[in-house]
Structure 1
Amino acid sequence: MKLYRLLTGPDDSAFCHKVSLALSKGWELHGSPAYAFNAETGLMQCGQAVTKEVEGKDYSPDMELGEQ
């Protein structure tokens, strides 16, 4: 089964660490990153899709994707 996550956050080192942590847990980058201005906060926001193949599991909306 393939899992999908969209990681988002402000354009800062914490976002880069979030993506790096996902990669270290076996997630793979999917597509290009997104970058947009959030007028409400006045900050640039980043987004990066990641996917991961997992065996022996059935998908459930209750899954904690970050723990896979």
Structure 2
Amino acid sequence: MSDTSDLPRYRVLTGPDDVEFCNRVSAALDAGYDLHGSLALTFDGDRVIVAQALIRPR
């Protein structure tokens, strides 16, 4: 695993509910983050938008 000391301990990823969003969350998990709280969903009139908080343990 590469050095992650420059990564924030907390982050929120947002975006359309698509494979790109899933890949971003997967990459964060691979970088040492854990899911934090529930996934949030909303609809912008055209598509579902998701948000997922993540934390990186000390």
Q: TM-score, normalised on structure 1? A: 0.69
Match of 1:25 in 2: 31
Q: 2:56 corresponds to which letter in structure 1?
A: K
Matched, 1:53 2:57: yes
- Fraction of identical pairs, as percent: 45
Q: TM-score, normalised on structure 2? A: 0.80
Please say which structure displays the higher CA radius of gyration.
Answer: 1
Q: Which runs of 5+ in 2 are unaligned?
A: 1-7
Of the candidates 19, 24, 30, which is equivalent to residue 13 of structure 1? 19
Q: Which runs of 5+ in 1 are unaligned?
A: 55-68
Stretches (4+) displaced over 4 A: none
RMSD of the alignment, in Å? Answer: 1.4
- The number of residue pairs the alignment matches comes to 51
